[in-house]
Chain A
Amino acid sequence: MSRATVELDFFGMEKANSSKSQFQKFIDRRRSFRGIQGAISKMNPELIKSVISSGSTNRSPVDWRKSFSVPSSPKEDRSSPVPSLPILNPALRASSEDSRETAPVTIFYNGTVSVFNVTRDKAESIFKLAVEGSSKNVESTDSLKVANPSRDQRNLLETRNGDLPIARNKSLQRFLEKRKER
């Protein structure tokens, strides 16, 4: 029995997935791991366990919207809310889907966690909205002359800086590693 699943790709395992979804290569492994670490470290461990277990069981008559709210950890200088994680890779795997069958989508946003049971179509619209939302923040008002729009958009979503993380000075790198051992 197959069912439509929308999965969170914590470790970037789906990098080479064959899904034809337009959100294919959403996020770099390292960035998603780092970002998740950040979000998870601010949350109640019991809460995390319940979210993960609820995502893996096969529930049919479930709450349409189960929302767990966790207070954000205090951050200074935050005039506008910052999403702690962009939406991750929706690896829509199952080959035969019932369009009305729902599956859980878990969204981490600004210190809150929400779980929704949605159909595949609804899930795709949510993702589309999120993509439009985040790309609007980065584009300037005096229109960016973008030669290759789809690639640039993909870049915004992969990591802040595409495939090239900001490189670190060798000596500083060694110091930061040695410091952990002290």
Chain B
Amino acid sequence: MTSQPGMSDVILGCVVPYIDDPKDRDAVSLVCRRWYELDALTRKHITIALCYTTSPDRLRRRFRHLESLKLKGKPRAAMFNLIPEDWGGYVTPWVNEIAENFNCLRSVHFRRMIVKDSDLEVLARSRGKVLQVLKLDKCSGFSTDGLLQVGRMCRQLRTLFLEESSIIEKDGQWLHELAVNNSVLMTLNFYMTDLVKVSFEDLELIARNCRNLASVKISDCEILDLVGFFRAASVLEEFCGGSFNDQPERYTVVSFPPRLCRLGLTYMGKNEMPIVFPFASLLKKLDLLYALLDTEDHCSLIQRCPNLEVLETRNVIGDRGLEVLARSCKRLKRLRIERGADEHGMEDEEGVVSQRGLMALAQGCLELEYLAVYVSDITNASLQYIGTYSKNLCDFRLVLLDREDRITDLPLDNGVRDLLRGCEKLRRFALYLRPGGLTDVGLGYIGQYSPKVRWMLLGYVGGSDAGILEFSKGCPSLQKLEVRGCCFSEHALAASVMQLTSLRYLWVQGYRASKSGCDLFAMARPFWNIELIPARRIVMTDHVGEADVVEDPAHILAYYSLAGPRADFPETVIPLDPLAAGVEL
């Protein structure tokens, strides 16, 4: 050890591993070469927000000893069926690199990516002995055969997460393999996957073998068949899924594990709801997104849950349900209210959320950190309430539904401004309105008053190019921007990108295209990839086989990348190559 001014390597080596926050680590790595190398040796986790921004090779060269990796592929819009299935985001090159070189990797999380059975086999064979966490999160392209390999060879798995993935189901063998080979499983999740060939006996076996099983989320499986499972899973804290196909009275025999505090029962109706009452006061998290409750049922259930911290439901909760929530659930931290059915008669008449519910919520639930809501009506005052009371809000998302012609109080310029000024911790922000919902002045306010916001979704806001140009003078922290249905020209979008100092990712659908698409070249620059998904006509068939032709407007996707343009474009995606077009950078 040389004596030199500053910290010795030994001390540095002891201190740096305690630094976990990615932004802190980023700062550490920029100090000098020595610190860069120490960070590279000791960094435990990396999230790559878009897999095409770098390459497996680069990752390996810098972070050879990585223990945990999260990779994201398709744009977020894929969750709403807006992105072609074959858009990209293949895990194969990453899995191959992992198999070959990442010897310390114990946790792998792929989100919105395309995974093949062969990828799963390679991963299981090469890392099976050490892999503890495998998350295939909203992925597609694989079948239960791939999962069979995982069940067979990854015997150290603590977490197997498959939520919302599209999986080709051949049989239920994979769950059986998992059941007979694993005794350390803590989290099992195949919620929202439509896997129906799994057997409840295997679930029961897992519960008996895995003494630490704390969280289980499954697909549709008759609750009465799970009585044995619930009895065996003695330390279970979280359960979601199942289904109710029998007479309500029969469910009185179901007895839930004593520590259960996070719950979501699919297709639970008014008559089955009482089975939750005995332990409702213990509940910290309630998922009613896929339940069959009306407004009154919501009121009846929520008032029994004074310890609720997380609630997810549809707008059938209504303003009245929100008022009950505000009175009863003082510890509420996260609230998500999704959009229910549009057709008449499918949801409760009372099931609309408006300014009335929001104002009650803001005043009653002062610890709120996350709020995402689809509203049918809105006022500036209700947004001002949120700015005044919701001081802990980090993530706010509002969508104004399009059923009502008249909205009480538009535009929302002042309300949005006051919300942004009041919620000083805001990091994520989404506002989806309609023409006239927010003027250019309002859009300027968003730019001016969101100093810490890193992600934004803006839909149908502003009135002209002036709006987005004013907006982009602000937002100093904005890294990821999604824009939908706005009236901005290509030229204004490109100019805005150049003004947003932190922007590294842009997604746009619905804009004023130029005749040639060339106005986008105003944002051409080194390391900036620009991709277009041209307007398409998609034939969508619903569940009764009725076909409908849907016009899907063009998308723009642009992002910084160290890896150059990607090499795996499907037909539906077109890269914009400024060099080929003769544009000078």
- A140-B436, A164-B510 known; A177 vs B543 contact (CB < 8 Å): yes
Residues of B within 8 A of A170 (CB): 79-81, 164
**Would you give the shortest CB distance from A66 to chain B, in whole angstroms?**
26
Of B350, B406, B485, B551, the contact of A137 (CB 8 Å cutoff): B406
A83 within 8 A of B: yes
**Residues of chain A within 8 A of B194, CB atoms compared:** 174
Residues in A neighbouring B467, C-beta threshold 8 A:
145
Q: With an 8 A cutoff between CB atoms, is A138 at the interface?
A: yes
**Residue pair B434, A160 in contact (C-beta under 8 Å):** yes
Check B543–A155 contact: CB distance below 8 A. Answer: no
CA distance A140 to B404 in the complex (A): 17
Q: Are B439 and A160 in contact (CB-based, < 8 A)?
A: no
A164 touches B79 (CB 8 A): no
Within 8 A of A (CB), among B503-529: 509-510, 512
Q: Is B94 an interface residue (CB 8 A)?
A: no
Asked if A142 is at the interface of the complex by the 8 Å CB criterion, the answer is yes
Judge if B568 is at the interface, Cβ distance under 8 Å: no
Q: A146-B463, A152-B487, A169-B338 are in contact. Are A160 and B79 (CB under 8 A)?
A: no
Query: What is the size category of the interface that chain B forms with chain A?
Result: 35 or more
Stretch at the interface among A18-26, A34-42, A47-55: A34-42
**B175-219 Cβ-contact flags toward A at 8 Å (1 or 0):** 000000000000000001010000000000000000000000000
Given A77-B354, A147-B463, check contact A134 B344 (CB 8 Å): no
- The reply to whether the CB of B299 lies closer than 8 angstroms to some CB of chain A is no
B466, CB-defined interface residue at 8 Å? yes
A156 to chain B: closest residue by CB: B435
**Total inter-chain residue pairs, C-beta < 8 Å:** 129
* Residues from 260 to 305 in B contacting A, C-beta threshold 8 Å: 267, 289-290, 292
Separation in Å of the A45 CB from the closest CB of chain B?
Answer: 15
Residue of A nearest to B78 (CB): A170
A34/B464 contact (C-beta < 8 A), A138-B410, A177-B543, A182-B267 known? no
B411 within 8 A of A: yes
Identify which of residues 558-576 in chain B touch chain A, using a CB-to-CB cut-off of 8 Å.
none
Are B339 and A163 in touch, CB under 8 angstroms?
A: no
**Is A144 within 8 A of B338, CB to CB?**
no
- Given A137-B406, A145-B466, A166:B344 Cβ within 8 A: no
Q: How far is the CA of A158 from the CA of B402 in the complex (A)?
A: 12
Q: What sequence of 0s and 1s flags, for each residue 437-470 of chain B, a beta carbon within 8 Å of any chain A beta carbon? A: 0011100000000000000000110011111000
13 contacts between A and B (CB under 8 A): A86-B405, A137-B406, A161-B435, A161-B460, A163-B510, A166-B432, A166-B459, A171-B289, A172-B314, A174-B194, A176-B340, A178-B543, A180-B543
Given contacts A145-B463, A148-B487, A170-B80, 8 further A-B contacts (CB under 8 A): A34-B342, A37-B344, A86-B405, A137-B406, A164-B510, A169-B80, A169-B338, A171-B192
Task: Tell me the B residues contacting A by CB distance below 8 Å.
Answer: 77, 79-82, 164, 192, 194, 267, 289-290, 292, 314, 338-344, 346, 349-350, 354, 377, 399, 401-406, 408, 410-411, 413, 432, 434-436, 439-441, 459-460, 463-467, 484-485, 487, 509-510, 512, 542-543, 548, 551, 553
